[in-house]
Structure 1
Amino acid sequence: MKREVLTIQVGQCGNNIATSFWEGAIYEHNIKLDGMLVEPLTPIGNQNLYFQETLNGRYVPRSVLVDLEPTIIDQIKSTNIGSVFKLENIISRTYGAGNNWAKGYCTDGYDIIDSVMDTIRREAEQSDMTNIFQMVHSLGGGTGSGFGSLICEKLREEYQKSILLNQSVLPGFVLDCVVEAYNVGLTLPHLLGSSDQVFLIDNIALYEIYFKQLKIQTPTYLDLNKLITDHSLCFTSGWRFSSGVDEKKIVDLMQPFKLGSLSYINADNQIYNMTCQTELLPNQQRCLRVRFQREQRVKYKYYRILPTN
């Protein structure tokens, strides 16, 4: 069955992470920053899952960029990868939500939700079969939490038979803003009622990976986004490379909330056959094993797929 994924980037955190994901996906699918294939006669994987091919052979991300303030989106448009996105799929306002969940859900976000849904609807109608929606956002900020909750509800209401996946970033123990914990508490019930699968990204786990495993004491947000991108590319690799994966069966068998925490372990160019996802990948792909365990928690495993040289 043909699958197509529409990614919705919400808020500052969501747009930064999703843009980092697109940089990795462009590299893995052998696409240049202008959207053209490096070698047109030898495509790698299923580009049409996350990219839409235009009449001139250019691949454009199936993505909608949303934020209540324009700073981050303007920065993305000024970078090299900014030109690959559709300008009509970029929506922003003048002022942000100010870490206020209610402003994202009830007031400022509610004022533009019709415009956002019209853009999502138009993008879905231009595709052959958009049956998976992937939202990337944070749970601590006002836009990612409040407006993200509103978008989830609208998507579930309009696309009842589609799969809705959320990649949600949890704030750390030391909060940047005192209301972040309230934003998380207000968002989780909406995700539980609307989303099919929520992948929780633990900020504390990301920092500990850099402190303990990678021995980097001052990681930047770009470094943290790189780890999250590794997780995203890994999870979607079974779809992006011809594997016959049935996403609906995977979602039905998984718990509603999944904690994704990573740490790197050298693979020495070895192939690790530890999960079915690894076995479904092309033979020319090699795996880098990633693992994290904190205190007495359950161990979570993900596998980052790296192209061979």
Structure 2
Amino acid sequence: MEQRIKKAGVIGAGVMGATIAAHLANVRIETILLDIVPPKLTDEDKKNGLTQESPEFRNKLAKKGLDMALTSKPASFYLPEYAKRIKVGNLEDNLDWLKEVDWIIEVVVERLDIKKSVFDKVESVLSPGTIISSNTSGLSAKAMCEGRSENFRKHFAITHFFNPPRYMKLLELVPGPDTLPEVMEVLADTCERILGKGIVYAKDTPNFIANRIGIFSMFNVIRTMMELGLSIEAVDKLTGPVIGNPKSASFRTGDLVGLDTLVHVAENVYDGAPDDERRDIFQIPDFIKKMLEKNLLGEKTKQGFY
């Protein structure tokens, strides 16, 4: 199949959004990276002479995401100069840029109401035939399509990348209720042949496949650790390379993914699968709730389990 995706737009310049944009740039897909306008000027912004109308202020979050991707370890870009293939902007001033892209990827916080708000904006500039996908790790495609236009519904799917996108081969591809077969074909071809992913087709069930299994494993490990009185370090020794897992094992992987994401995924299964025979496993332990309260989220806040 001839490559159809020449230009992409990524909405959300957090860790995942920025590094997905980086990997698109790696394979010569011109990419637009958009985020919200910051709510207010900081003291540093004022010191630097910025106003609320300054592009440097209005595009600050997208630029911050791009800078993070440039300095990330392991490296998100094949070569640093590939960052020039990414154009940063914001959702208020630059939404029209999305009219020119072939593929829009939503990578905002895992809340259905916020995603729907983003899709409202996307619909206002959506060109016929443009593919839209969400990077959700487990929210329902059907729920995200509710109230959307026929054009949106037919061209919508879930493309769930894993962190870090350049290195993690797995990608879950989930159709919505009305997704056209040719949209799935284009996404599969682009993600597999161009981006180098291994495609797993999933049904629209809570957390799909990988996170449904992975979060069960993680929370079962936590429960066993608490029952046996083991340390975090001991658990990672037991659940890393010694049993064929990556050296990040359990808790270093948790830090990389983010505790807030782990909790969201667990709560999504708990709420969405009331008949699961092991549903109790997905309840959040008190010590993790306290870590969330203290903003100990892992890599993104530079402090978590480690």
The TM-score, its normalising length taken from structure 2, stands at: 0.39
Instruction: Identify which of structures 1 and 2 has the higher relative contact order when contacts are C-alpha pairs closer than 8 Å and 6+ apart.
Output: 1
Higher strand share: 1
* Greater Cα radius of gyration, structure 1 or 2: 2
